[in-house]
Chains A and B, each alone.
Chain A
Amino acid sequence: MSKKVLLNSKEIEIILHRLACQLIENHNDFSETVLIGLQPRGSYLAQRLADILTSDYKIKDLNVGLLDITFYRDDFRRRDEPLEATDTEIDFLIEDKKVVLIDDVLFSGRSVRAALTAIQSYGRPENVELLVLIDRRFSRHLPIQPNYRGRQVDAINEERVIVNWEELHKKDAVYIDNK
């Protein structure tokens, strides 16, 4: 088993700032925009981006929510391990808002498909965009592409992309794990 560092903490920080600036380019003051982190792992990225937008770019009253997609997944009863739900925290309406879905790794696209269904339970958004830190090219099962990507990776299916966050693992880093 070999573990290769794809991004170190410095590179991640640069990418997060770039993504934040790209969001500002399209969403101005975020008055009509909500950021939704996909639980469990996308929530760290969403929170990090929100922190940067609020502290470095002085965005006020940013709406950040967390969305659990467990009950919308298409592999219920098709896995050996039971699915484990996490909390959803969306305490605002998304009707007519611009929604940015945020996740750490885009692989098959099935989580995003589930999130697109789930988000409709909170109203009809004006539009939905997708932001990911790592976009694994050539691995999609569905026609889903990100609007904002941190880094594009050509990893083969057997390899795993692992995102570590300071909050959980003491250090920001992205690894490719070759089993």
Chain B
Amino acid sequence: MKQLSVEHLLGIKYLTKNDIDLIFETANHFKEVINRPIKKVPSLRDITIANLFFENSTRTKLSFELAEKRLSADVINFSASQSSVKKGETLIDTVNNILSMKVDIVVMRHPNVGAGVFLSKHVDAKIINAGDGTHEHPTQALLDSYSIYEKLGSVKGKKIVIVGDILHSRVALSNIFALKLQGAQVKVCGPTTLIPKYITSLGVEVETNIKKALEWCDVANVLRVQHERMDIKYFPSTREYTQLFGINKEILDNLGKKIVIMHPGPINRGVEITSDVADADQSIILNQVENGVAVRMAVIYLLAQQIKR
């Protein structure tokens, strides 16, 4: 019972509600651990983990690395910009070369959708998806839900609006799966050009008026405008985006209730949210970062538990 139903963490859509409950329960214990004077446990001292980042990342990579080290695993890091990928090596070859060095778990971020699933079918290691293109970013969704659960006591029945670039966002997709699985109500809000056509088939509603969306919700998860994924112009200007979808203190103060503000980072201050909102006491952005380490420790610990000696 106290085991995950999956062998890899490839996406939230493969998880069950029990899996999420187990991850949260385990994360609670690790959150206590990382607040001790000595923030480390020896559980994974005979496990080696490779962090393969084929796409840039700062906080996810740091968070994973810290989680691994807090569990006493041995860690090797790899980023595509300094590697043989540039010389034409295939993904399977790269990974198999790394696995020959006796690696047990691979944490991978890749620009291509489904890279984690593909890899899990071809190599003999536990795979944790740290973001695959515009598809899923399961640990981010888990830490977002965990932060809501921590702040509001539960996720079930809560109203959550995801604001911004839903089309290019793996955070949005994983969050929708995770929140729906836990019984939350979800709306997405953003320019219609950045909302996928069939998004309502996932059981979410679309709202294009930011004020209405905020009035409805308990929690607003604000996403970054991902200029790097936009090959064409999806809205006329950043300034116009800010005017229509940016969240500032004035909007929040006029809501008549205090909603929780989340952001997966990195923040474009003054674009999707203003500085005073990002730093307000109703913002749990930095709690999300702290919880990220605990949640990733839980995921790694639970998957490592399945590796037989």
Contact = CB atoms under 8 A, between A and B. Distances in A.
Interface of A: 68, 70-72, 76-78, 82-85, 87-88, 93, 117-118, 120-123
A169 to B, nearest CB: 23
Contacts of A93: 37
Contacts of B309: 77-78
Nearest to A120: B38
19 contacts: A70-B29, A71-B42, A71-B71, A71-B301, A72-B42, A76-B43, A76-B305, A77-B305, A82-B3, A85-B29, A87-B29, A88-B29, A88-B32, A93-B37, A117-B42, A120-B38, A121-B33, A121-B40, A122-B36
Provide the main secondary structure of the chain A interface: loop
Given A121-B36, A122-B36, A82 B305 contact: yes
B206 to A, nearest CB: 41
Interface residues of B, number: 25
B150 to A, nearest CB: 15
Provide the main secondary structure of the chain B interface: loop
Contacts of B38: 120-122
Nearest to A118: B41
A71 B32 contact: no
Interface of B: 2-3, 25-26, 28-29, 32-33, 36-44, 46, 71, 301, 304-305, 307-309
A71 B33 contact: yes
Most buried by B among A71, A88, A93, A117: A71
Contacts of A120: 38
Contact of A72 (B29, B37, B41, B301): B41
A155 B308 CA distance: 32
B306 to A, nearest CB: 8
Contacts of A117: 42
A98 B38 CA distance: 19
Nearest to A70: B29
Contacts of B29: 68, 70-71, 85, 87-88
Nearest to B44: A76
A121 B32 contact: no
Contacts of B305: 76-77, 82-83
Contacts of A70: 29
B37 A123 contact: yes
A77 B44 CA distance: 9
Contacts of A122: 36-38
Contacts of B25: 85
